[in-house]
Structure 1
């Protein structure tokens, strides 16, 4: 490939009427991708969307081939950053019972665009009513089984990678890519179903005029992050050793949604640096992870009973089943994220091993340069010097890191310089509004965090950031509340905040740019308001 050929991480032509968003997808794959990172997942992810909708009866087999036009794909990249095609999701929502364009935009992307109109059609309903229930009923057991298999496969495969030749590394990469596709099919069904369940709960809460109840109904579901939090606490108290912790959770790490990032397995420094924060939390403290989880489960049960008390006896049974299903699918939602990270961890190891072999063959200068080659570059066999190509792509990557995409746009996006931290205090009384994602009120020092691996939080600090992924859980254990720029009720940050009983306001859009690090703020998770109290 030469510099003049099409860029696999950018698009220069797009229909101006097609709407895109960084919401949700940017949480899964945050920041700027490398050439290998994006090409490793692009087609498997696109196919996963299509197989997911086929399993629900929304699509036919004729919809399975991936179209060449990005306007007809569910996701792509602009300037190296992931973006989801709102227009495609709206197209799906309008033929799917139990949801709508408005619901999809709100639950998956955290906001609804002005002028959004629901124009549902019932033409696919008969097929969906036959296929979808079968898929959904079988899904939890299938999901659990696949997740357990991915855990086993990771622990079995990683020790072998150091002795592989180039062909062996490519075989592991291909296997990891196939497994990524398989878990994503199930994960996307979970995301779609959980969105519909949350929307139904929200409607019931609105009808009952019980503001704030929705967040409590979505709390205490039990997730992969609960296990991470508990094992961090146990590691700090030497109840488990580091090897055990890394076997269970070592696939997490800073910027973990990018293939080129470094996991805790490769560098446990970020977690070891925080163990002191948890060591002194006694087992009977409300802050102990197990007690937090139990308390949130209790609050969810109380919220379900409160909602049930407002309806007829016949509807109470439905509410009980609905809240139970919502809890199960929200837990599966976080399990699915952990599942695809397991495939990433193995793929990272295979790619780095292959990079080292290419350095030995005088093709690359550094093993990490392999991430600036595409999946097809590697699969086709790298037989000649790739230094010039890597240098060009590395320069592109570094330039793209200076910019970000809008939260939503139509056609080709206008790049925005990455927001710098506020240099002056926001005036006392300034309010930043967002989604009331997890109830409660907390006051404390704002800590504006860009990289979870390079910041120290003290007990009672309030975490303010653009978005989070599972590698941020160690900070959640210390924080008094969470404020994020992006996301909705079913985004990662709000889910973990509810599991740990932290007030959370998400979807503020500009919170991390307007609030200066060190300012004292109040987070009202019941009303979705963050108020600046005083200067840094």
Structure 2
């Protein structure tokens, strides 16, 4: 891939210590695809600081670790060839300092796999500080998270109507505000992520000790995530019980590739969600597939699994099962709420950025309003009147070039880029098995639908969703899918959480399932064993 001119590329790291391991695992789900210059520089430093402030609040970090290191090897995340990547070594170091979890557990739950030969290196040196600071942070977290999320909803609805009438300085002020709010919600969201990982790890260990391996998927179902509300409101919209404006006010910050600042939200273009309404209209209120009924059924399954676990554990542990299961449910729901929270900041930021782009066109500094997304944060906020159209042209070309490549799931040092190939044109042989993480129980057979863009997907009732990864905008497909298969993710990733909420068998972390399975093939998804089996070709031949 041809490099940009020196100093023009904020989205790549051409040099990296070959011993440092990286992954696209969980971070690719939050910020999927290729970032633009503004998209990445809008979030990079705030998110890095959010990690550090969160760990400082827990007592894991000291004051001297609140600055962003210059070396990428010492940062929690960065970008290679425009795609987000997480520094496994930094996460493992932190996990080794936290009580109640381990580096291996965090690696498995956040990224979907553990590297061969890894060894935990836990240390208790920070435990005294953690014992003082962590309880207060954890005990107040739930209410603080709910309060901030409610404030973000109100702020979004209050700010969006003002954006068109603001001058350039006013829109840049909105962008600054959105970036600060992004950092604040990420501090809480990342704390929720680590606590939910620790609680889920404790619950998994209890299940294993009781000899009930596999029960954890049911115990982590029916938690009541933000996607439940989206699915229910989509059903109400389809049945004429909710108007479009109300739906957009509530959920319009979602949309295809919503983890990218330059994407188009449902607020801007509701066509992708309107295209799925016929599927929802076909589901009557009393149907078990209706969102509200699915949620109730999954909550029942979780309660039933908890009772089963109580009978399997020792009398001394029996009293811990209920509180631990309820705590897991609460923090998994908060996890999805946190994703919705930072997407609220994105929706306001993209509105302000688009308006600023139009204003820069009027000033003769841009050729097209969308070129604003190929400026860096510092360039946009500089207000120096410099004509950067040559730079932008190079960055736009580089962005288009990067769409042709993806990163491996894991690597050390500088990654070797993988060419994005077209969907499989030949059937995977019948009997082919693809292994992943057993993320949501149940077994289902159906036609595979390999989906790259949920907005254009052709999907029928009973089809099985096969994709690289998902974000909240995919919920419209989940409701009509019979099962889910993803390339990336672990037990606590977005796709598996939503699959469990809707009672769909799910195998995640297959790494290359969407490239090996041909669209239209008959497959069997075994969410209990974490295995996908190809049964027949796309034309129905065995």
Moved over 6 A (4+): none
Select the residue among 457, 460, 482 that pairs with 1:458: 460
Provide Cα deviations, 1:131-157, integer angstroms capped at 9, x if missing partner.
111111100000000000000000000
SS at match of 1:412: coil
Q: Does 1:524 align with 2:539?
A: no
Partner of 1:111: 113
Supply the RMSD in Å over aligned alpha carbons.
Answer: 0.9
Partner of 1:481: 483
Provide Cα deviations, 1:147-199, integer angstroms capped at 9, x if missing partner.
00000000000000001111001100000000000000000000000001111
- Measured in 2, the distance between the counterparts of 1:317 and 1:229 equals 34
Shift of 1:62: 1.0
Partner of 1:130: 132
Provide Cα deviations, 1:395-414, integer angstroms capped at 9, x if missing partner.
11011111111111111111
Partner of 2:11: 9
Select the residue among 51, 58, 65 that pairs with 2:53: 51
Partner of 1:427: 429
Provide Cα deviations, 1:255-310, integer angstroms capped at 9, x if missing partner.
00000000000000001111000112111110000000000000001111111111
Q: Does 1:314 align with 2:316?
A: yes
SS at match of 1:454: coil
Select the residue among 159, 162, 165 that pairs with 1:160: 162
Partner of 2:218: 216
Work out whether residues 72 and 78 of structure 2, in 8 Å CA contact, stay in contact via their aligned partners in 1. yes
- Measured in 1, the distance between the counterparts of 2:497 and 2:27 equals 16
Partner of 2:292: 290
- Measured in 2, the distance between the counterparts of 1:355 and 1:286 equals 47
Q: Does 1:87 align with 2:99?
A: no
Work out whether residues 461 and 479 of structure 1, in 8 Å CA contact, stay in contact via their aligned partners in 2. yes
- Measured in 1, the distance between the counterparts of 2:43 and 2:267 equals 22
Select the residue among 464, 467, 470 that pairs with 2:469: 467
- Measured in 2, the distance between the counterparts of 1:289 and 1:374 equals 41
Work out whether residues 101 and 116 of structure 1, in 8 Å CA contact, stay in contact via their aligned partners in 2. no
- Measured in 1, the distance between the counterparts of 2:369 and 2:254 equals 21
- Measured in 2, the distance between the counterparts of 1:296 and 1:209 equals 23
Work out whether residues 107 and 488 of structure 1, in 8 Å CA contact, stay in contact via their aligned partners in 2. yes
Partner of 2:396: 394
Work out whether residues 225 and 337 of structure 2, in 8 Å CA contact, stay in contact via their aligned partners in 1. yes
395-404 or 125-134, which moves further after superposition? 125-134
Query: TM-score, structure 1 length as denominator?
Result: 0.99
**Unmatched segments (≥5 aa) in structure 2:** none
Q: Does 1:498 align with 2:500?
A: yes
Work out whether residues 452 and 468 of structure 2, in 8 Å CA contact, stay in contact via their aligned partners in 1. yes
- Measured in 1, the distance between the counterparts of 2:393 and 2:365 equals 12
Work out whether residues 221 and 330 of structure 1, in 8 Å CA contact, stay in contact via their aligned partners in 2. yes
SS at match of 2:78: strand
Provide Cα deviations, 1:389-437, integer angstroms capped at 9, x if missing partner.
1110001101111111111111111111113211100011111110000
Q: 1:382 to 1:423 in 2, by over 3 A?
A: farther
- Measured in 2, the distance between the counterparts of 1:48 and 1:434 equals 31
Shift of 1:382: 4.6
Shift of 1:386: 2.2
Partner of 2:511: 509
Work out whether residues 426 and 535 of structure 1, in 8 Å CA contact, stay in contact via their aligned partners in 2. yes
Partner of 1:269: 271
Partner of 1:139: 141
Shift of 1:6: 5.4
SS at match of 1:38: helix
